[in-house]
Amino acid sequence: MEERQRVRRPGGRAARVGAAVHQAVTDLISERGYGKFTVGDVAARAGVADSSVYRRWGNLEALLTDVALTRLNARSPMPDTGSLAGDLHTYAANVAREITGPEGLALLRLAVALSGNGQQGRRALDDLLAERARHLQSMLDRAGERGERAPDALEVLDHVMAPMYIRVLFGLDPLTPEYVDGLVDRLL
């Protein structure tokens, strides 16, 4: 693995294959849903050989995990606006944008599916959540260092993230800016 990565250049064939395969997975999850496609379907959609997918990712679960981790982590950079209120409002708006729309929803569903997917999926989801929690905590720590009274990361999860996730997962009312801001104001 290390050996192979060392010779991969950004923009090279490996990167192109990686991007095409990731996009194919995201498209298939949006169109068919989790559990409704095979490695062969992904390879065909990405225009690569099945063996390329197996060689790089091993199996479908590992590939799905890689896609979920990469996409969900790339999407929500933590804001640093100088105030806790500013940071939380921006962060909540970013998350709302990320999980709205077919692609974001598909990734959120994938995260839920991973949690039920044996050791490997479970560990992948734990890693993803731990990385998110670390980022969120460092945002809250910055507020504490400025002398602001910051909530716990778990309070942010329970009362800002969870309502948005559930509304999107259950297809309830759209996440309007007023609604998202209201969740943050209520917490602060």
Residue with tokens 């065909």: 44
The count of other CB atoms within 10 Å of the CB of residue 114 is 23
Among residues 79, 105, 135, 137, the one that binds a copy of itself under rule CB under 8 A: 105
- Does residue 111 bind a copy of itself (CB under 8 A)? yes
- Does residue 34 bind a copy of itself (CB under 8 A)? yes
**Cα-trace Rg, the chain:** 18
Are 49 and 43 in contact by the 8 Å Cβ rule? The answer is: yes
Identify which of residues 54 and 165 has a Cβ nearer to a copy of itself in the complex: 165
Among residues 135, 148, 165, 181, the one that binds a copy of itself under rule CB under 8 A: 165
- Does residue 112 bind a copy of itself (CB under 8 A)? yes
What are the helix and strand counts (H, E) for the chain?
11, 0
- Does residue 113 bind a copy of itself (CB under 8 A)? yes
Whose CA is closest to 100, among 180, 24, 43? 180
- Does residue 163 bind a copy of itself (CB under 8 A)? yes
Are 181 and 88 in contact by the 8 Å Cβ rule? The answer is: no
User: Of the ranges 1-9, 29-37, 48-56, 64-72, which one interacts with a copy of itself (CB under 8 A)?
Assistant: 29-37
User: Of the ranges 17-25, 34-42, 44-52, 138-146, which one interacts with a copy of itself (CB under 8 A)?
Assistant: 34-42
Q: Which residues contact 48 (CB under 8 A, 6 or more apart)?
A: 17, 20, 21
- Positions that interact with a copy of itself (CB under 8 A): 33-36, 105-106, 109, 111-113, 115-117, 122, 125-126, 129, 157-159, 161-163, 165-167, 169-172, 183
